[in-house]
Amino acid sequence: QKEVEQDPGPLSVPEGAIVSLNCTYSNSAFQYFMWYRQYSRKGPELLMYTYSSGNKEDGRFTAQVDKSSKYISLFIRDSQPSDSATYLCAFHKTGFQKLVFGTGTRLLVSP
Amino acid sequence: DSGVTQTPKHLITATGQRVTLRCSPRSGDLSVYWYQQSLDQGLQFLIQYYNGEERAKGNILERFSAQQFPDLHSELNLSSLELGDSALYFCASGPRTGSQETQYFGPGTRLLVL
């Protein structure tokens, strides 16, 4: 079983839609949860960083963590064509700096 | 702009050759991480350095090595290159080790081995 499962997509939505991106993980030692956005041929850019279960909001982005289900989500409200990118979930354990990434979900937002 | 710089942006070389990738972390960051991103494997952690010392190793081949210099820049050396080493190589930096921290990625070096 992979440590992290993420649907590769592509996920195609019209501009203005609410987007839901998800990852499941199997390692209960993961304590830190991140979402990165990666545009084509660019480095991953940190979007959201959370520690505990619950929701964290930043502008149009909301990160949700459910540790009991080992499931994390990223919601994007009022999606824009500029949100078209690959979204990577990432995890690490306390005291261990290595990030474990999902394979990424490609999102396409059409005008 | 994350503040992490990587050179070169692109590298084209032949099998059996050796290349060096360079990374400068964000100002004030002591940790440098190297990752490899290929189409079939996704982003894979290779190695971490903290203030000049190796701190963690991931899926790094014996043909690959890295170091971090006193000015905190880091180099990743890839030798005896094979076709399968073609990938994007990213460097990330972070402020300290042993605690929660975020990692900020550079723009990457795209390596093509022919």
Q: How far is CA B99 from the centre of its chain?
A: 21
Average pLDDT for chain A: 92
Farthest CA pair distance, chain A:
43
Q: Which residue of A39, A52, A99 to mutate against B (max B Cβ within 10 Å)?
A: A99
In sequence order, the 6+-apart residues with CB closer than 8 A to the CB of A12 are A108, A110
Q: What are phi and psi of B40, to 5 degrees?
A: -90, -20
pLDDT digits (tens, 9 = 90+) for A15-60: 999 999 999 999 998 988 999 999 988 999 999 988 878 899 999 9
Q: What are phi and psi of B85, to 5 degrees?
A: -85, -10
| Lowest mean per-residue pLDDT among B37-41, B64-68, B74-78, B86-90 | B37-41
Q: Could you tell me whether strands A85-93 and A30-38 are parallel, antiparallel, or unpaired per DSSP bridges?
A: antiparallel
CA pair distance B47, B65, nearest whole angstrom = 9
CA pair distance A33, A70, nearest whole angstrom = 11
Instruction: Kindly indicate the confidence band of residue A94, based on its pLDDT and cuts at 50, 70 and 90.
Output: confident
Minimum distance, in Å, between the CA of residue B26 and any CA atom of chain A? 14
**CB-nearest partner of B107 from A43, A99, A104:** A43
Nearest to A102 by CA among A11, A13, A23: A23
- Whether residue B98 is predicted with pLDDT greater than 60 in this model: the reply is no
Which residues of chain B approach chain A closer than 8 Å at the C-beta?
2, 4, 31, 33, 35, 42-45, 48, 55-56, 58, 90, 92, 94, 97-108, 110
Both tokens assigned to B8: 């070169």
* Overall average pLDDT of the B28-53 stretch: 90
In sequence order, the 6+-apart residues with CB closer than 8 A to the CB of A106 are A8, A9, A10, A11, A85, A86
CA pair distance B46, B80, nearest whole angstrom = 17
pLDDT digits (tens, 9 = 90+) for B4-36: 999 999 999 999 999 999 999 999 889 999 999
